[in-house]
Amino acid sequence: MNILVINCGSSSLKFQLIDAVTEELIAKGLCERIGIEGSNLVYQPTGKEKVETQTPMEDHTQAIRLVLNALTDEKTGVVKSLSEIGAVGHRVVHGGEKFASSTVITDEVIQGITDCNDLAPLHNPANLIGIAACKELMPDTPMVGVFDTAFHQTMPKEAYLYGLPYEYYDKYKVRRYGFHGTSHSYVSKRAAEVLGQKYEDLKLIVCHLGNGASVSAVKNGKCIDTSMGLTPLEGLIMGTRSGDIDPAIIEFIAHKEGKSIDEVMALLNKKSGVLGLSGDLSSDFRDLQKAYENGDEAGIRTMETFAYRVVKYIGAYAAAMNGVDAICFTAGLGENSPFIRDMICNRLGYLGVTLEEEQNAKRGEDLIITTPQSTTKVLMIPTNEELAIARETFALVNQAG
Ligand code: AMP
């Protein structure tokens, strides 16, 4: 069965068509600038030439229509008709406490996702638009929602509650939810396979280090803590997001700079992180790494502060699990930068971590990058959120069928 995986943002849409049985990627692509002048579709059928089309896309329905046309096109298409797409899997960012696992999308589920809009005002409405567009264009094709928050729903109360008046949890569900769950789940399961050990027997720490970044503690096959919170702003220092700060800083900056709360929040989301810390040098770790290597002070302070925060979370989660068997690196930076893995692992001597330099220099495949003597193993596992969404969708549609 072919599964169309859709990841809908406010003005963009990423898609992949995956054969759920062979797990082969059939085609992938991206619609950009939806609803904005200069929209374009990049469509890449596997093994064939990439097709780029500049074409107006007024809304997401039109974008999905163009994607479906590309997939079924006589010349560049990969399926004869839409009936060859067995199901659609949607990435949904926030499932609140309602969705602890993926689910077949019904009207009730759509209402449930809508109820979580408050918790992810930038993301959930966009995800819902994608769902509505597919419903309109492919009314008979089953759809599944796969939530970024679901994997973390196993966290115990002590990990997800904040030190706030409990009534805010009761009334508004203010608590830690965590994100990147599909990636943390995929990578931690894959790590168990690579280690040749039972998932249920392991204590794992997953470092998803990309433009957005988070760490999770996975004990005996269940997430027990994660660094992102009510929103994806908490935790590690990210591309442009601050991560953990003293909450009093918000008021302090608002007073000093004459800014509103909304303005300070925009600053914390878009102008902070490694971008802000480097004095606007870059939010891209490749530039910052170069600056570090060139001895640039801004590059050095930024990379060291970023790495230190990751090391701190690893220590906290090793303590939370009373030990750790393996640490996994994934996502853009975690997968592609031996430099950052080295910088972090160098500070983990107390866990008996010894990197195997030759292994750490490699790319692109699942790797154990520590020596056989290393007490705690370190792995590099490329994440594949789309494949994970396709798997979940296939399993649920099969079950329902
Ligand atoms: P993601 O959000 O997972 O796509 O990751 C994006 C981040 O990965 C960006 O900050 C990139 O700079 C970083 N990245 C990608 N490739 C490399 C690389 N070869 N070295 C260092 N950072 C990289």
- Cβ within 8 Å of residue 367, ≥6 positions away: 359, 379, 380, 381
239 CA: nearest ligand 1 atom? 10
Give 104's strand partners: 144
> Domains in the chain, ordered, with CATH?
2-147 (3.30.420.40), 196-385 (3.30.420.40)
Distance from residue 337's CA to the centre of ligand 1 (Å): 8
Measured CA to CA, the distance from residue 275 to residue 278 in angstroms comes to: 5
pLDDT in tens, 97-108: 999 999 999 999
Amino acid identity at 117: N
Helix ranges (H only) for 20-162 are 60-72, 107-115, 124-137, 157-160
pLDDT number for residue 399: 83
Whether pLDDT at 322 is above 90: yes
Of 9 and 171, the structure prediction assigns the larger pLDDT to 171
Calculate mean pLDDT across residues 185-205: 98
- pLDDT band of 371, cuts 50, 70, 90: very high
Q: Is the pLDDT of residue 302 over 80?
A: yes
Share of the chain above pLDDT 90, in %: 93
Q: Is 143 in the pocket of ligand 1 (CB under 6 A)?
A: no
Residue 214 banded pLDDT, cuts 50, 70, 90: very high
Residue 400 has pLDDT above 80, yes or no: no
* Per-residue confidence band for 123, with pLDDT thresholds at 50, 70 and 90: confident
**Which of 125-129, 298-302, 346-350 comes out lowest in average pLDDT?**
125-129
310-314's contacts with Cβ under 8 Å and 24+ in sequence apart are 310/207, 310/209, 310/213, 310/215, 310/236, 310/344, 311/344, 311/347, 311/348, 313/207, 313/215, 313/227, 313/235, 313/236, 314/205, 314/207, 314/215, 314/344, 314/348, 314/351
pTM assigned to the model: 0.95
* Whole-number pLDDT of residue 363: 87
Distance from Cα 284 to the centre of ligand 1, integer Å? 7
Mean pLDDT value across residues 267-281:
97
Q: How would residue 166 be classed by pLDDT, with cut points 50, 70 and 90?
A: very high
Whether 19 is in the pocket of ligand 1, judged by its Cβ within 6 Å, is no
CB of 327 closer than 8 Å to CB of 207: yes
Answer whether 384 contacts ligand 1 (Cβ < 6 A): no
Ligand 1 proximity of 284 Cβ (cutoff 6 Å) = yes
Q: What is the predicted pLDDT for the residue at 240?
A: 94
Q: What is the rounded distance in angstroms from the CA atom of residue 366 to the CA atom of residue 94?
A: 29
| Interval between CA 163 and ligand 1 midpoint (Å) | 34
